[in-house]
């Protein structure tokens, strides 16, 4: 009986350690804020147990509902038309990411000193994206008036912004 309890304990410990080693970790990349309310769409990079970007699902995008105590909610199929993305694997554990909200600006997702970064052009200069602000109408199918990209200069760390007005 004593050997069975010890063997079972070892098996449970091994199972716990195995699950903790192979589990993925999310690290925040950037967010989309809107003029409609305080809720934001958050984009995370998923890292595998080796600390590399997860090839199966590199990006995890979801709502943080600050109007409901900050709970997480998945993006609906309908909402993916505005907040969805396409991620394409490149080389050296990096990805090209194109947001539906900012179709004409692709970005490169990569680890820089172990931290995930979304490199994008802001004011025609490389920057690490931290947020996108969307100003739009309150209609059922909103009309976007403008976007503001905010990030940091990778060399100086200075904040950079660019306002993109939509063509009407």
Residue spans per domain, the chain: 23-165
Burial class (CB in 10 A: 0-12, 13-18, 19+), 47: buried
Taking phi over 0 as left and psi of -120 to 50 as alpha, with beta for the rest, 91 belongs to beta
User: Quick check: 155 and 142 in contact, CB under 8 A?
Assistant: no
Check residue 24 and give its pLDDT: 67
Per-residue confidence band for 103, with pLDDT thresholds at 50, 70 and 90: confident
Check residue 12 and give its pLDDT: 40
pLDDT at 20 over 80: no
The whole-model pTM stands at 0.82
| Cβ neighbours, 10 Å, residue 34 | 19
Mean pLDDT for 7-32 is 58
| Cβ neighbours, 10 Å, residue 117 | 23
pLDDT at 61 over 80: yes
Lowest mean pLDDT among 19-23, 41-45, 55-59: 19-23
Tell me the helix, strand and coil percentages in the chain, rounded to 5: 15, 50, 35
User: Quick check: 128 and 135 in contact, CB under 8 A?
Assistant: no
Rounded Cα distance, 118 and 87, in Å: 12
């Amino acid at each position: 009986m004593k050997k069975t309890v010890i063997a079972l304990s070892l098996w449970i410990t091994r199972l716990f350690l195995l699950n903790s080693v192979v589990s993925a970790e999310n690290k925040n990349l950037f967010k989309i804020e809107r003029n409609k309310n305080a809720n934001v769409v958050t984009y995370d990079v998923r890292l595998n147990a080796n600390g590399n970007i997860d090839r199966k699902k590199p990006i995890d995008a979801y709502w943080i509902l600050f109007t409901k105590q900050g709970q997480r909610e998945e993006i609906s199929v309908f909402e993916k038309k505005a907040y969805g993305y396409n991620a394409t694997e490149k080389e050296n554990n990096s990805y090209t990411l194109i947001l539906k909200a900012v179709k004409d600006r692709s970005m490169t997702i990569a680890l820089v000193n172990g931290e995930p970064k979304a490199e994008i052009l802001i004011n025609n200069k490389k920057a690490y994206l931290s947020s996108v602000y969307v100003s739009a109408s309150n209609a059922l199918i909103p009309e976007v008036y403008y976007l503001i990209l905010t990030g940091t200069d990778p060399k100086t760390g200075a904040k950079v912004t660019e306002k993109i007005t939509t063509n009407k």
